[in-house]
Amino acid sequence: MRLFLDTADIEEIREINRWGVLRGVTTNPTLVAKEVDDPERVWKEILTEVDGDVSLETTDPEAGAMYEQGKRLAEMGANAVVKVPMTPDGLDAGKRLTDDGIRVNVTLVFSPAQAILAAEIGAYIVSPFLGRIDDAAADGMHALRQICEIYQMQGYQTNVLAASLRHPMHVVDAALAGADIATMPYEVFAKLVKHPLTDVGLQKFASDWEGLQEKLKEGA
Ligand code: E4P
């Protein structure tokens, strides 16, 4: 399962990139708005920093304008993936973009039925939003499992990207469900690396090593 960072913050991207595990980035209008900067500059910096897919989201709701915007976004970098929403216009624009050979990520997906539509337009990625499904008192992980199962049964090539992940167990369960990609905020990435026994073990190794140095000094 490829690990993506869900952010438009270049410092967060640089930090996770340093770990050698970052395979891509997803952005959305909310995340880009947080940077309070020219979106084109923000996207370009991310596309250059990341050696992997970077999803850039369209904002025009009308199919024709969305298609034109999607073409411009795709031209920003060879690693750009164009996000379109799960709406009739999004499907229309998304199909035209995939027909042009542009890689499309269908976003704001909340059900297996919507995921079937995304696969049928030949999307490169489908993004079910697990956390937001949970927020609506439904089972996001169940929806993800169903999507993965349907895609396997039907032989769909669209990559399943588990999105809106809120904690490390979302990431683990998404991997068990067979998701191709998991995208998560920086805070969740930071939690993945942490374990209290790692900290305890590290402290013990450090104090034992220190003790050895003292003993060697005393003996000298
Ligand atoms: C994915 O592409 C989305 O940007 C993201 O995962 C949304 O997550 P949220 O529900 O935490 O905003």
Report pLDDT for 92. Answer: 98
The pTM assigned to this predicted structure is 0.95
Phi and psi based region of residue 203 (left: phi greater than 0; alpha: psi -120 to 50; beta: remaining): alpha
Nearest atom in ligand 1 to 28's CA: 4
**CA 167 to centroid of ligand 1, rounded, Å:** 13
State yes or no: is 191 an active-site residue.
Answer: no
Mean pLDDT of the residues in the chain:
98
pLDDT score of 144 more than 80:
yes
Residue with tokens 């920086």: 186
- Residue 193: DSSP 8-state: T
Most ligand 1 atoms within 8 A of CB, residue of 12, 13, 27, 28 to mutate: 28
Confidence of residue 220 (pLDDT cuts 50, 70, 90): confident
Q: Is the CB of 28 under 6 A from ligand 1?
A: yes
Distance, CA of 16 to CA of 189 (rounded, Å): 8
* Mean pLDDT of all residues in 45-60: 98
Phi and psi based region of residue 118 (left: phi greater than 0; alpha: psi -120 to 50; beta: remaining): alpha
**Rounded alpha-carbon distances, angstroms, from residue 207 to 72, 76, 200:** 57, 51, 11
